[in-house]
Chain A
Amino acid sequence: DAKTTQPNSMESNEEEPVHLPCNHSTISGTDYIHWYRQLPSQGPEYVIHGLTSNVNNRMASLAIAEDRKSSTLILHRATLRDAAVYYCILSQTASKLTFGTGTRLQVTL
């Protein structure tokens, strides 16, 4: 399976944009980039996913590099409720997800 690399932790101020990076230099042509997040004491929840083009939904935006070797999850205005561990996962389908240790996002006032 292709591997992803994420920073262990990041900090952000509330109401500021947050850019969470993910490197995946060995991504294959059929791998989708999935993002999940896990709030404290909860199960993970889906955030967004994409293949080649940038994607937007109500929660976030996903910017994918042209060579697909990296991507960035963008939270447009971080709130305290966005404090969580964010996982970047490569998979051809939603049924084959391998979770790493992710990026712990802290949001401060």
Chain B
Amino acid sequence: NAGVTQTPKFRVLKTGQSMTLLCAQDMNHEYMYWYRQDPGMGLRLIHYSVGEGTTAKGEVPDGYNVSRLKKQNFLLGLESAAPSQTSVYFCASSYHDEQFFGPGTRLTVL
């Protein structure tokens, strides 16, 4: 099992550009999550999904959109990137007692 994978690993954007981060899991988990982590801080929840076709807002959803068209994939979109969105983005999935995290995507917005 690959677990949770994220694509891409690194990306540099210019202000106003758009992009999509892809998260995939092969553990058949219902729940999936997108977090961001800024330097010296803990993770903050952006959006999450409790199953295919469902999404919900987390703690810091503004400026992001998500989609869960397939159970194994959870996409995070930035329609118009801003420097404040420079961060490391982590995807996770969960089943019962624990969350499984991906390796992260380091995004820089210039």
- Smallest CB separation, B43 vs chain A (Å): 4
The stretch that binds A, out of B12-20, B72-80, B95-103, is B95-103
CB contact between A49 and one of B35, B43, B92, B98 (< 8 Å): that residue? B98
Which A9-61 residues sit within 8 Å CB-CB of chain B? 36, 41-46, 49
Contacts A87-B42, A101-B40 given: A43-B94 contact, CB under 8 Å?
Answer: no
Which A72-109 residues sit within 8 Å CB-CB of chain B? 87, 94-95, 97-102
- Smallest CB separation, A67 vs chain B (Å): 24
A42 contact set on B, CB distance < 8 A: 103-104
Q: How many residues from A make CB contacts under 8 Å with B?
A: 17
Which B2-60 residues sit within 8 Å CB-CB of chain A? 4, 31, 35, 40-45, 48, 50, 59
- Give the interface SS of chain A, mostly helix, strand, loop or mixed: loop
Q: Are B31 and A102 in contact (CB under 8 A)?
A: no
Q: Are A97 and B99 in contact (CB under 8 A)?
A: yes
- Give the interface SS of chain B, mostly helix, strand, loop or mixed: strand
A87 contact set on B, CB distance < 8 A: 42
Contacts A44-B90, A44-B101, A46-B100 given: A95-B41 contact, CB under 8 Å?
Answer: no
Can you name the residue of chain A whose Cβ is closest to the Cβ of B101?
Answer: A43
Q: Are B92 and A43 in contact (CB under 8 A)?
A: yes
Can you name the residue of chain A whose Cβ is closest to the Cβ of B33?
Answer: A95
A94 to B96, CA, bound (A): 6
Q: Which residues from chain A sit less than 8 Å from chain B, CB to CB?
A: 36, 41-46, 49, 87, 94-95, 97-102
Q: Which residues from chain B sit less than 8 Å from chain A, CB to CB?
A: 4, 31, 35, 40-45, 48, 50, 59, 90, 92, 94, 96-104
Closest 5 CB pairs of A and B: A43-B101, A99-B42, A46-B98, A99-B43, A43-B90
With contacts A44-B90, A49-B98 known, what are 8 further pairs, Cβ within 8 A?
A43-B4, A43-B104, A45-B101, A94-B96, A95-B94, A95-B99, A97-B99, A100-B42
